[in-house]
Chain A
Amino acid sequence: AAGVIQSPRHLIKEKRETATLKCYPIPRHDTVYWYQQGPGQDPQFLISFYEKMQSDKGSIPDRFSAQQFSDYHSELNMSSLELGDSALYFCASSYSRGNTEAFFGQGTRLTVV
């Protein structure tokens, strides 16, 4: 069965550069969540979208923005990258009606040097 696809798998960027992370939810899922997991840390919620509208907002820095497109895929845009942004970024998707289980992608490992 199709799972949540994240792209790229790994990304290395320099300080002050920008990065775009992509998330392709499971077909028919209408909700997308973004999480940041630093080394040895628990996943921290960044932001979520339901039906292409921002639904919930967590500890997302102002330097980051995200959106959900008409095909339900989502992109996390990160600007003015800092060393502390180095982390594993997870995307999860769920279907709002019925079973609300969130399925996670493999994550994008971002390294800022």
Chain B
Amino acid sequence: AQRVTQPEKLLSVFKGAPVELKCNYSYSGSPELFWYVQYSRQRLQLLLRHISRESIKGFTADLNKGETSFHLKKPFAQEEDSAMYYCALSGTGQAGTALIFGKGTTLSVSS
């Protein structure tokens, strides 16, 4: 079964501290993994996708197929990073294949 697990509902850190938002997935095949962010009262926005291997707003995520993980990391958290973060998975190849979201992790960064 396809499943995305984000074990932490809330992660609260101080400004400047490192951040790691955990994501594990279950999928029989080669999925595409994403991180979406939802700032307060705003739409879901794509933050990262594993195939692009970019660093966006200082965030990085590496797909670990052995551990079936796609953890999101940032070395120094900023207050503006406070938001809800969703890890998501999509099957590859077929148009219209749904994104399956995890439950989300609320990141709260305080000074």
Contact = CB atoms under 8 A, between A and B. Distances in A.
Interface of A: 30-31, 33, 41-45, 48-51, 55-56, 58, 90, 92, 96, 100-107
Interface in B30-76: 32, 36, 42-46, 49
Interface of B: 32, 36, 42-46, 49, 86, 90, 94-104
Contacts, number: 58
Given A102-B46, A105-B43, A43 B86 contact: yes
A50 B43 contact: no
Contact of B96 (A43, A55, A104): A55
A96 B93 CA distance: 9
Contact of B44 (A30, A43, A50, A58): A43
